[in-house]
Structure 1
């Protein structure tokens, strides 16, 4: 059985797999041995578990945990030391592979839309990137703990991941330069030392056709070498006319574990997307059918190609000392062009202006780290120390074009074709080099009180060349970020914490980096006798050093770094398997956002305004029920989204709405399932964004799949 093979690898200080980069460099807290042994079953026999295991946010749990439950009770260091989410002094969510499959989440936005504090879908038919905000601010994304950086402009493929992990709020001590809203970390599927496989075919709305395969096994009798191959091909259209949504993904992994103490993993992956980027929007005068298209079929393309190679190494020296090292190289090309409407509420008649826009970009990135961890016990005190270094070298080149397009008669659309010429308004090459050092110290007293402290310094060298004028500029930054937390285990079921954390946003040349700081108070409850985890957190998150326009005494307007924004809020989350047949995921968020000091570009004050796309209230609930005697299961979900402002001036606002999703699964042959998923069950339509035109939420989509597992 799979568990029989995995369990010895968990016992004692057996390190299976490898850490996943930067998050591993700075754990959040420490975790007593008694609970660790109780939850994992490890620690029997002569091998001694460390009483203190640092908690991190990016590590990978065992495969069986991700596929068999929606409740991620533990986070895992790459060395497979189990640590408890319950005792982590931060607001954390984990979306396991089982939950992703239950909801048939096919984009990152789908994966995250039932997670409290996260706003998704506000760019509607703009499918160039994964768009999400956490706690009202932009968030940073990672893959296996390493920042995606210049690779960010890509829609990730959820089929590639074991789980998706969310850390809400500031965290540069953990990650380095990061946006203040939080972090989303994608944990890659990796080889397992057992034989397994899955294959599926699917068909759905908008002529969607796809096939997927995920297989793996050991390669030798001694079970020291294992492989995994994961792939997916999709041929589809989108909900608007003259669209396409095609993609190919292939990933291969190889893990070598020659001894109980050493593990090395290599992952190679390739992603190719051939899509249309945008419908171009819809006129203001009335609600239009989502299928209508007012862009240009001959100039509506988005081509993405990304290749990555990742290596991960772990070695346990014994006596509490472990080395981890991670390295990744990525290469990306990302080209798009489309036509968008530039409508006006004062327009008379049916003719609407339009514009062409496009960008060609290339990026390369090398990032790696080395981390030493030392665990020790001193009577009633447990200690865990991490120290590490990180290096990142990235470059990108981008050319952006623009041109006015022929107006279109929305009552009788006639397309004019691609542009005869385009004006280059920006051509730039950027180079980034980052060197970082970090230290985190965790101390546990009497297995009840846990103190965490961390410090990180990032030295960044940035250079930029304007390819139109052949002028260059550069900037050096040295930024320190701090983190501190106190955790108190009230009982073995209830833990509470108070924390302070800082963030430093990725800087730009000539501009002081924006900084964030967060104060958070939280509690988590993991009841005995139930596979469930409940959490609550209240917080204040501030963003300082925002560059704004300031009107001077002489009437001129100058840019100054004095802007400040703040969000105060509450996050509630419940993940529970109430019975063997019934599970639920629920969340609620309250956000009170305010611009403390800010302006528009013309100097108009925004003081006291709400943030854009930041609703005060959000709530969600997903339930899944299984009828084992009938080999059937049903899922039903609801997502409530409160009203929010479209613009910084707070002149236009959305309507509050509730969307429903559903699923059905039937095992008609042994190990073979038919599943049907419906998103936006009632096909509710509303405006989610409004600028030069209106943009609607995604309409109803139906997807049917037949899958076989072995």
Structure 2
């Protein structure tokens, strides 16, 4: 990012800066009642403009993400880059700078300061990235190409990404099939046309040892060929006994730029995790320390092995016409197995023991996905037009077995482990073969640089094949050919150059299993955004009415699928990201969700959807004390997250308590390119039940302290 400051009357510049700060702070509070009164910016000829932000980059503006917590552009609503200010949707971008400042080493930690997002609702269960957006499990994408749901998916490595874009609400017209709560787009680190790099080492809680690197340079003197190499290697325990949390990650990329108008990138990455899924839960009615283990050491594994090959191609034909395409092939093998407590009586069991079960899964999958689209931009008088048309093809195959069976009870006061299950026959064996073809169209029209009308249309043709055998129902499967049409309409109006209001309607459709109806959703949303000129910041407020139909849920203890007719969420999201001065950065968020299950005549009718807090709030701030003499810069970070109470089950029989968790960070600049960083999550070791599945307690993560030494160039 390059900051340009024009000359002029210094006093007037300071007044403008002060007014911008006050207006930004006032906006966040006023938006709580969805009513904002802002002063019209004065644009007189002799007005001095302080710190105009000029981003010298293309696409999503990711070149600036390592230097700022405030992003101004996104592709989070679709494959067409756009300014966040005028995008008629609620979008949050977590840049690599923010990720590094907070020391976030999992996707859950990356998004936990984002409005509308709840994390850690499964407590010490570490199999997946557990988070919901506006009350629903999101679909994830990488560089605009679908990966799948976070639930039952692979835990992604955040060090691989330049930024993470969180879209709130329904939007299948953008990236394709999804659930209506929201979507997450991971933007991969790619080679740059300059020399850069970093290497770091981290150690801390739970015997944690980690090292990583991210560097690149030009291979040719004319900048036509560049490379980038990124890696992370970790050996660690988790916070419970008999645990493991090891990881090997390596990613390499080449970018070829034969002309200024053409770019081709090839990226390969390998992810290898060797961990444990859970401590087995804690008996209900007890309050043991988190490190107590009630599973089986001999049957306690969670492994991931995935190779991914990506291709990105861009060409500018000139005269406003560009071509963009991306393709990805991935192959993965995953598996887990563990013993867990499931005993409703818990500590009150008269036998003095608690019942347990074995649960496991082994799965392999293969995916090939390719997308290609044309973007045409033109200007006629006072109307700007941006038209994007594209096609997508996605082929996904998987096969896997799920295992479930009784385990021997365990004495919760004096645990004696009995060993693994030996031979455990699968209760479900399943093979899937899915092909999706899609065409889509997006059109933006901007009138007089004020009013932007946006339309998105998409049709997905789903060819589904499934066959399997269930221990409970016998053979099942079949074939289905479905066609799903989704649409999105949005309006955005710039009240001033810094303030915009928007309204939108969007739909979603998610691929079903054979024999069931697709999960569909729709959302109505209105909001307002403020992006001051005087300093980097973005304030967003939105009200939404979101409905999801034909939902598949999974209830303990076997987590077999069940269908709920309709769930309706109405809510409010407030979010602010601001770099108030060179020394002070602030991130703040608040969310309210009114959740209701609509199931006329059903047992859940009128109740709240599980794991949906009514209220959430968070704030994170950093202050930098500039160095003097031999002392380098020191940056102090402090944050707090409030997670309101929520029900653990759709029957609303069990409920959590609200809790506040505090995080902290400290960075010291030893030399110009050498820093020491200390991160503490859950500073006060606050402990609460994050999940009670009716058979055991699962607590939120405890205090963890990590120290890092980083060298950059």
Give the TM-score normalised by the residue count of structure 2: 0.88
* Residue 299 (str. 1) matches residue 302 (str. 2): no
Are the aligned partners of 1:150 and 1:364 in contact in 2 as well (CA < 8 Å)?
no
Are the aligned partners of 1:177 and 1:504 in contact in 2 as well (CA < 8 Å)?
yes
Report the Cα offset of residue 643 of structure 1: 0.6
Hey, what does 2:175 align to over in structure 1?
175
**Comparing 632-641 and 440-449, the one that deviates more:** 440-449
CA 1:235/1:455 → structure 2, altered by over 3 Å: closer, same or farther? Answer: same
* Residue 414 (str. 1) matches residue 426 (str. 2): no
Hey, what does 2:115 align to over in structure 1?
116
C-alpha distance in structure 1 between counterparts of 2:417 and 2:698, whole Å:
20
C-alpha distance in structure 2 between counterparts of 1:610 and 1:471, whole Å:
32
* Residue 475 (str. 1) matches residue 477 (str. 2): no
C-alpha distance in structure 1 between counterparts of 2:448 and 2:676, whole Å:
52
C-alpha distance in structure 2 between counterparts of 1:475 and 1:665, whole Å:
55
Are the aligned partners of 1:150 and 1:365 in contact in 2 as well (CA < 8 Å)?
no
**Comparing 218-227 and 66-75, the one that deviates more:** 66-75
C-alpha distance in structure 1 between counterparts of 2:564 and 2:191, whole Å:
49
C-alpha distance in structure 2 between counterparts of 1:580 and 1:130, whole Å:
34
Hey, what does 1:615 align to over in structure 2?
613
Q: Structure 1, unaligned stretches of length 5 or more?
A: 5-33, 44-52, 54-58, 550-558
Hey, what does 1:694 align to over in structure 2?
697
C-alpha distance in structure 2 between counterparts of 1:339 and 1:471, whole Å:
28
Compute the RMSD of aligned alpha carbons: 2.5
Are the aligned partners of 2:60 and 2:81 in contact in 1 as well (CA < 8 Å)?
no
CA 1:80/1:597 → structure 2, altered by over 3 Å: closer, same or farther? Answer: closer
SS at match of 1:272: strand
C-alpha distance in structure 2 between counterparts of 1:382 and 1:528, whole Å:
23
| Structure 1 ranges of 4+ moved more than 6 A | 76-82, 559-562
Report the Cα offset of residue 423 of structure 1: 2.1
Hey, what does 2:289 align to over in structure 1?
289
SS at match of 1:677: strand
1:290-331 alpha-carbon deviations (Å, 9 max, x no partner):
010000001000110000000010111111111111110000
Give the TM-score normalised by the residue count of structure 1: 0.88
C-alpha distance in structure 2 between counterparts of 1:680 and 1:638, whole Å:
9
Report the Cα offset of residue 384 of structure 1: 1.2
C-alpha distance in structure 2 between counterparts of 1:105 and 1:548, whole Å:
29
SS at match of 1:109: helix
How do 1:231-380 residues align onto structure 2 when only pairs under 5 Å count?
A: 231-345=231-345, 347-380=349-382
CA 1:256/1:609 → structure 2, altered by over 3 Å: closer, same or farther? Answer: same
Report the Cα offset of residue 667 of structure 1: 1.6
1:219-271 alpha-carbon deviations (Å, 9 max, x no partner):
00111111000000000000000000000000001101111111100110000
How do 1:452-471 residues align onto structure 2 when only pairs under 5 Å count?
A: 452-466=454-468
Are the aligned partners of 1:548 and 1:563 in contact in 2 as well (CA < 8 Å)?
no
Are the aligned partners of 2:62 and 2:162 in contact in 1 as well (CA < 8 Å)?
no
1:60-93 alpha-carbon deviations (Å, 9 max, x no partner):
4232x11111111223699999742111110000
Hey, what does 2:519 align to over in structure 1?
514
SS at match of 1:173: helix
C-alpha distance in structure 1 between counterparts of 2:336 and 2:683, whole Å:
31
Are the aligned partners of 2:78 and 2:175 in contact in 1 as well (CA < 8 Å)?
no
Report the Cα offset of residue 560 of structure 1: 11
CA 1:402/1:562 → structure 2, altered by over 3 Å: closer, same or farther? Answer: closer
C-alpha distance in structure 1 between counterparts of 2:206 and 2:77, whole Å:
40
Q: Structure 2, unaligned stretches of length 5 or more?
A: 4-42, 44-48, 555-560
C-alpha distance in structure 1 between counterparts of 2:389 and 2:78, whole Å:
16
Are the aligned partners of 1:371 and 1:388 in contact in 2 as well (CA < 8 Å)?
yes
Hey, what does 1:396 align to over in structure 2?
398
* Residue 526 (str. 1) matches residue 563 (str. 2): no
CA 1:377/1:670 → structure 2, altered by over 3 Å: closer, same or farther? Answer: closer
1:577-606 alpha-carbon deviations (Å, 9 max, x no partner):
11100100000001011112267xxxx521
CA 1:40/1:525 → structure 2, altered by over 3 Å: closer, same or farther? Answer: same
* Residue 709 (str. 1) matches residue 712 (str. 2): yes
1:342-398 alpha-carbon deviations (Å, 9 max, x no partner):
112352242011111111100000000110111111111111111110000010000
Report the Cα offset of residue 669 of structure 1: 2.8
Report the Cα offset of residue 444 of structure 1: 1.0
Hey, what does 2:124 align to over in structure 1?
125
Are the aligned partners of 2:137 and 2:149 in contact in 1 as well (CA < 8 Å)?
no
Are the aligned partners of 2:76 and 2:166 in contact in 1 as well (CA < 8 Å)?
no
C-alpha distance in structure 2 between counterparts of 1:73 and 1:516, whole Å:
28
C-alpha distance in structure 2 between counterparts of 1:476 and 1:260, whole Å:
43
Report the Cα offset of residue 697 of structure 1: 0.1
C-alpha distance in structure 2 between counterparts of 1:643 and 1:371, whole Å:
44
C-alpha distance in structure 2 between counterparts of 1:401 and 1:245, whole Å:
23
Are the aligned partners of 2:62 and 2:163 in contact in 1 as well (CA < 8 Å)?
no
Are the aligned partners of 2:138 and 2:149 in contact in 1 as well (CA < 8 Å)?
no
* Residue 505 (str. 1) matches residue 510 (str. 2): yes
Report the Cα offset of residue 39 of structure 1: 4.9
**Comparing 343-352 and 617-626, the one that deviates more:** 343-352
SS at match of 1:278: coil
C-alpha distance in structure 1 between counterparts of 2:553 and 2:354, whole Å:
33
Hey, what does 1:222 align to over in structure 2?
222
C-alpha distance in structure 2 between counterparts of 1:685 and 1:542, whole Å:
33
Hey, what does 1:48 align to over in structure 2?
none
Give the length in aligned residue pairs.
651
Are the aligned partners of 2:315 and 2:323 in contact in 1 as well (CA < 8 Å)?
yes
Report the Cα offset of residue 568 of structure 1: 0.5
Hey, what does 1:213 align to over in structure 2?
213
C-alpha distance in structure 2 between counterparts of 1:396 and 1:142, whole Å:
18
How do 1:168-207 residues align onto structure 2 when only pairs under 5 Å count?
A: 168-207=168-207
C-alpha distance in structure 2 between counterparts of 1:275 and 1:80, whole Å:
35
Report the Cα offset of residue 506 of structure 1: 2.0
